[in-house]
């Protein structure tokens, strides 16, 4: 894929290409799903002319597409010549170009943002809230036993009386059970 610096933050960056400031006179060549690890994104000077050719001995032709619009078939031996325009498209910025570009990146890629997390609140006495193990139903057909010792206990966390399929994760240093519903296939 070929991109200008202005287009570098779109499909090119999604394919693993670099983000390039619009003031940098460059052309970007970014491989899309290459079969070889030897082909990496390249940033080229804007004054070069790049020729992409389908080899005459290729197994088949190729297709070329410009900005996602109608595609054009290239047959064996065909070539496409690519060069930057001598007349760049002027852009309007709210502030200076550098600040505007970085603000756009922050907004689009959510840079410098913190994810809000619910606080971890431990109840006095270690009691459950109904959603932790041992309290309340979990929507999988048990009668409120959960896994921590209720009347209708059907399965237990790993390390307890549980069977295959039980997993334990740790959240904020406390074990949290992740269990499969009872079935003959998982032995619970």
pLDDT, tens only, 137-183? 444 444 444 444 444 444 444 444 444 444 445 555 555 444 445 55
* Kind and range of the H or E run holding 29: strand 26-29
Residues sharing a CB contact under 8 Å with residue 182, sequence separation 6 or more, in sequence order = 154, 155, 188
> Model confidence at 108, in pLDDT bands (50, 70, 90)?
confident
Task: Decide: pTM greater than 0.85.
Answer: no
In order of their start, the domains of the chain are 1-111+165-187 (2.60.200.30)
Lookup result for tokens 């240093």: 173
Instruction: Measure Cα distances from 143 to 138, 165, 186 in Å.
Output: 9, 20, 20
Tell me what the mean pLDDT of segment 6-18 comes to.
Answer: 84
Q: Can you give the pLDDT at residue 78?
A: 95
- Whether the pLDDT of residue 107 is over 60: the answer is yes
* Kind and range of the H or E run holding 146: none
pLDDT, tens only, 69-105? 889 999 999 999 999 888 878 877 777 778 888 888 8
Q: Can you give the pLDDT at residue 77?
A: 94
Q: Can you give the pLDDT at residue 118?
A: 78
Q: Can you give the pLDDT at residue 185?
A: 52
Q: Can you give the pLDDT at residue 63?
A: 92
What phi, psi does 102 have (nearest 5°)?
-65, -40
Q: Can you give the pLDDT at residue 34?
A: 84
pLDDT, tens only, 18-56? 888 888 999 999 988 888 888 889 999 999 999 999 999
Q: Can you give the pLDDT at residue 57?
A: 96
Tell me what the mean pLDDT of segment 98-121 comes to.
Answer: 78
């Amino acid at each position: 894929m070929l991109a200008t610096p202005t287009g570098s933050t779109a499909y090119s960056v999604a394919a693993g290409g670099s983000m390039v400031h619009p003031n940098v006179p460059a052309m970007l060549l970014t491989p899309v799903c290459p079969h070889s690890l030897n082909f990496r994104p390249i940033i080229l000077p804007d004054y070069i002319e790049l020729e992409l050719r389908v080899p005459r001995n290729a197994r088949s032709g190729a297709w070329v597409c410009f900005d996602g619009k109608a595609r054009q078939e290239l047959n064996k031996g065909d070539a496409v010549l690519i060069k930057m325009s001598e007349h760049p498209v002027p852009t309007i910025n709210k502030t200076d170009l550098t600040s505007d570009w970085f603000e756009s990146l922050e907004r689009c890629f959510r840079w410098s943002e913190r994810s809000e997390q619910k606080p971890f609140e431990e109840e006095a006495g270690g009691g459950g809230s109904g959603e932790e193990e041992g309290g309340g139903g979990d929507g999988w057909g048990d009668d409120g036993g959960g896994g921590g010792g209720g009347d209708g206990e059907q399965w237990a966390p790993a390390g307890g009386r549980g069977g295959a399929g039980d997993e334990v994760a740790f959240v904020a240093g406390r074990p949290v059970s992740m269990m499969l519903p009872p079935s003959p296939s998982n032995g619970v």
